[in-house]
Structure 1
Amino acid sequence: MRLIYDLFPERYDSHLIINLFETFPEGFLVAEENNRVVGFILGVKPSGDAARILLLGVSEGERKKGVGSCLLNRFINTMVLKGSKRIELEVRVSNKEAVCFYKKHGFHTVRTLPNFYRAGEDAYLMMRWL
């Protein structure tokens, strides 16, 4: 939970995160180095053929080392095995680094979601076909 709070301006309720993990543990992956969490991905496959990435984060000092790519690829492989045909996510329009990361991994922008975040910031809805 500490890394989530460090990386994201939104304050996600810890009970929500725990509930998501208990409901769909296959969608929660953690990367560790020296017994320290350095990255994570939290996603779900609600129903049908679509999976969703809710959160993906890597600590500042571990970026550009393949941690995020490894987490994303493992999540994608798991979702393929679960029957997903596509993965969707939302990302802040201002988060250029994340937008580039997802594009590098085959995601494309579907549309802009106005005022998506609590502070009124827009988001891109991004998707990748599997």
Structure 2
Amino acid sequence: MVEYVFTDRAPKPIGPYSQAVIAGNFVFLSGQIPIDPKTGEIVDGGIRDQTRRVLENIKAILEEAGCSLNDVVSVTVFLKDLSHFNDFNEVYSDYFSENRPARSTIQAAALPKNVLVEIAAIAYKK
């Protein structure tokens, strides 16, 4: 059985995809960019502010799916510029301080809406 997840506490999809899909015990989150769900706009600020917004969006989607950040098993991070890695990582560490999922970090030539970061995640729903 497949279930599609949607919450108003995260940005509405800007294309033909779901915020997340639950398949069995896994929750697959689409890549999230730093859109403020209240305004529909990209958040002001640099990599730290954008990373925080993305992780808050992910947290909201996970909660709607019946999970939390502690259930995340894999994360894929796309950074516009790897020179932002240390600043990104400091904010990321605040969200994943105890349970640390597997992670890949990739520098992308371009990201939607010219943002600095996009994050996709997979969680295991117990």
Q: So what's the TM-score if we normalise by structure 1?
A: 0.41
- Name the structure, 1 or 2, with higher relative contact order (CA <8 Å, separation 6+): 2
More strand by share: 1
More helix by share: 1
Q: So what's the TM-score if we normalise by structure 2?
A: 0.42
Q: Which of structures 1 and 2 has the bigger CA Rg?
A: 1
